[in-house]
């Protein structure tokens, strides 16, 4: 009886871990899609940057496929601006900036 109870506990723990991983994947996919939408629309990123996943071909800003910026680099650039790129702080919310940063970071891996 005790062995069966312990086995059931382990099975439940494994089930919860698997469920948690699937939920995190779904949430990550939602953030990725939201980031893509921002990249293509209100962020206007595609008008300056080349990114294969977005289907954008532009030469004003760096080619993101080549420089492959990490999450923090994108957050800093979008928030503060860099070079001729303006700051999007106040234009995009913090969540939107984080979403587009996640998208660029993931799409350029």
pTM for the predicted model, two decimal places: 0.75
CA distance linking residue 69 with residue 103, whole number of Å: 11
Cβ atoms within 10 Å, residue 54: 19
83: left (phi over 0), alpha (psi -120 to 50) or beta: left
- Quick one: pLDDT at residue 7? 58
Domains of the chain: 24-107 (1.10.760.10)
- Burial of 79 from C-beta contacts in 10 A (0-12 / 13-18 / 19+): middle
CA distance linking residue 88 with residue 85, whole number of Å: 9
- Quick one: pLDDT at residue 89? 95
Question: What pLDDT band is residue 19 in, cutting at 50, 70 and 90?
Answer: very low
pLDDT at 27 over 80: no
Residue 54 is classified by DSSP as: G
């Amino acid at each position: 009886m005790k062995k069966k109870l312990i086995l059931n506990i382990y099975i439940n723990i494994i089930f919860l871990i698997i469920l948690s991983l699937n939920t995190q994947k779904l949430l990550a996919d939602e953030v990725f899609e939201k980031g893509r939408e921002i990249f293509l629309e209100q962020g206007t990123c595609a008008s300056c940057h080349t990114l294969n996943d977005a289907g954008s071909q532009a030469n004003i800003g760096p080619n993101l496929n080549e420089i492959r910026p990490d999450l923090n680099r994108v957050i800093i650039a979008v928030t503060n601006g860099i070079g001729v790129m303006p700051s999007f702080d106040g234009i995009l919310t913090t969540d939107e900036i984080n979403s587009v940063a996640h998208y660029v970071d993931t799409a350029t891996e």
